[in-house]
Amino acid sequence: MHDLIIVGGGPVGSTLAAALSGAFSVLVLEARATAVSDDQRSLALAHGSRLILERVAVWDDALQATPIRLIHVSQRGGFGRATLSAQDMQLPALGYVVAYPALQTALTQCTQVRGVPVSWGARVTQIDDGTDSVRVHFQRGGVVEEASARLVVIADGGELAQSAAKHKVYDYRQSALVANVVTDRPHENRAFERFTRDGPLALLPFATGYALVWTTTPERAQELCTAPDSTFLDALQTEFGVRAGRFERVQARAVYPLALRVARAASKRRVLLLGNAAQTLHPVAGQGLNLGLRDAFELARALRAEPLLLESSGLAERFQALRRLDRTSSILLTDGLVRVFSNTLPGLSWLRGCGLTALDCLPPAKRVFMGRMLFGT
């Protein structure tokens, strides 16, 4: 019997496995058939997440991370702006942009070196909760297999997470169009967060261009995703403006529907939800993955400090209480930003502009805000 079974070998599940390796018997079950990921998204990692990855010995030059040293925040069609600088926080960078495959490869190699067993192509079909352990049923290569552990951690936001706990869901009626774009100016490690009528538009410095996250209506997102490059670039130029330069090239477009999904306590006592299984957030301010990595790190730290917690059937409840403040504040922050900055009520644009201006003019408040974004609560 294992100490833990982690369902989901993505960044959150793999970080947890790496952080627990050597101290606990861990098995990772990953539905993906191979270690190679075909997900072409770019990921925004806060400086706090870099510290977590450094502690599990994953952060190195192979990630080819692009630092974010300044973030320019503005609203389209309204006054007011704020700039968030790494210098204000006395940090080398506020965050970093990495390719999903690069991070996944680094984490997979880390777990392999540390001897953590990973079952690829393993689709979990059932979890039976017992008094002292949990039995997991999964299919791999058409064969039904079983494994047991003291604790099961679901770190995958798929169907299993939906069935393991009741979820509160709010549909934003928005979609995120992600892509890589190149302009005629160097990015100089600047990121942009521009709030538009349909939702936030983010440009994150990545390699020699930008990673784009464009939030808009589902219908327009689909149209833009399939539009000719020239049409897409013209639309983006109109929506964003010229602050980043003239948009010249675009590639790797994809669309994702957006909703706020928050899990309540798992229905089984020895089952715990982390990352997207526990909460799926709006991409504004890039908090989702960073919150998941903090979830994984705090669980590993709690278990390493008190290994006998695995013997307790109340571990899941205790961990939920430990993480409640950080999770709740992250949810309220992202949800609040979307609702306030996507609202077209008369006069609200003026109030938003006043808020951005006040944030920019009050360094102590700005540092508190940035600290919350970078390290959680």
Q: How far apart are CA 16 and CA 107, in angstroms?
A: 10
Give the pLDDT of residue 303. 96
* 347, pLDDT greater than 70: no
Topology agreement, domain 2-66+94-168+260-375 and domain 172-259: no
Burial of residue 76 (number of CB atoms within 10 Å: 0-12, 13-18, 19+):
middle
Q: Which of 161-175, 315-329, 340-354 has the lowest mean pLDDT?
A: 340-354
Mean pLDDT of the chain: 92
Q: At residue 173, what is the residue type?
A: R
* 350, pLDDT greater than 80: no
Q: Kind and range of the H or E element at 260?
A: strand 247-263
* 202, pLDDT greater than 90: yes
Give the pLDDT of residue 40. 78
Instruction: List C-alpha distances in Å: 233 to 102, 106, 216, 223, 336.
Output: 27, 33, 15, 13, 30
| Res. 95 pLDDT band, cuts 50 70 90 | very high
Average pLDDT over residues 89-116: 94
N- to C-terminal Cα separation, the chain: 35
Q: Which two tokens stand for residue 66?
A: 């692009």
* 340, pLDDT greater than 70: yes
| Res. 78 pLDDT band, cuts 50 70 90 | confident
Is the pLDDT higher at 187 or at 336? 187
Q: How far apart are CA 5 and CA 248, in angstroms?
A: 47
Give the pLDDT of residue 174. 95
For 203-260, what is each residue's pLDDT tens digit?
Answer: 999 999 999 999 999 999 999 999 999 999 999 999 999 999 999 999 999 999 999 9
Is the pLDDT higher at 346 or at 244? 244
Average pLDDT over residues 11-34: 94
Residues linked to residue 261 through DSSP beta bridges, in sequence order: 169, 280
| Res. 145 pLDDT band, cuts 50 70 90 | very high
Give the pLDDT of residue 265. 78
* 343, pLDDT greater than 70: no
Give the pLDDT of residue 346. 64
* 186, pLDDT greater than 90: yes
Average pLDDT over residues 43-50: 97
Q: How far apart are CA 209 and CA 206, in angstroms?
A: 5
Give the pLDDT of residue 76. 86
Report, in angstroms and rounded to the nearest whole number, the Rg of the chain calculated over CA atoms. 21
Q: Which of 120-129, 137-146, 205-214, 339-348 has the lowest mean pLDDT?
A: 339-348
Q: Kind and range of the H or E element at 139?
A: strand 134-140
Q: Kind and range of the H or E element at 57?
A: none
Q: How far apart are CA 290 and CA 296, in angstroms?
A: 10
Neighbouring C-beta atoms of residue 117, cutoff 10 Å: 14
Q: Which of 28-42, 233-247, 260-274 has the lowest mean pLDDT?
A: 28-42
Q: How far apart are CA 198 and CA 297, in angstroms?
A: 35
Average pLDDT over residues 323-335: 93
Q: Which two tokens stand for residue 127?
A: 């979890």
Task: Please say whether the beta carbons of 276 and 157 come within 8 A.
Answer: yes
Range 2-66+94-168+260-375 classified under CATH 3.50.50.60: yes
| Res. 162 pLDDT band, cuts 50 70 90 | confident
pTM of the model: 0.94
Return the residue matching tokens 């002292």.
132
Q: Kind and range of the H or E element at 180?
A: strand 167-183
Highest mean pLDDT among 51-65, 71-85, 180-194: 180-194
* 156, pLDDT greater than 90: no
For 307-326, what is each residue's pLDDT tens digit?
Answer: 998 988 888 889 999 999 99
Task: Please say whether the beta carbons of 293 and 15 come within 8 A.
Answer: yes
Q: How far apart are CA 310 and CA 4, in angstroms?
A: 9
Task: Please say whether the beta carbons of 195 and 341 come within 8 A.
Answer: yes
Is the pLDDT higher at 281 or at 342? 281
* 128, pLDDT greater than 70: yes
Domain ranges in the chain are 2-66+94-168+260-375, 172-259
For 172-259, give the CATH class.
Answer: alpha beta
Helical H segments across 28-173, by residue range: 47-55, 100-113, 159-164
Q: Determine what percent of the chain is predicted with pLDDT higher than 90.
A: 73
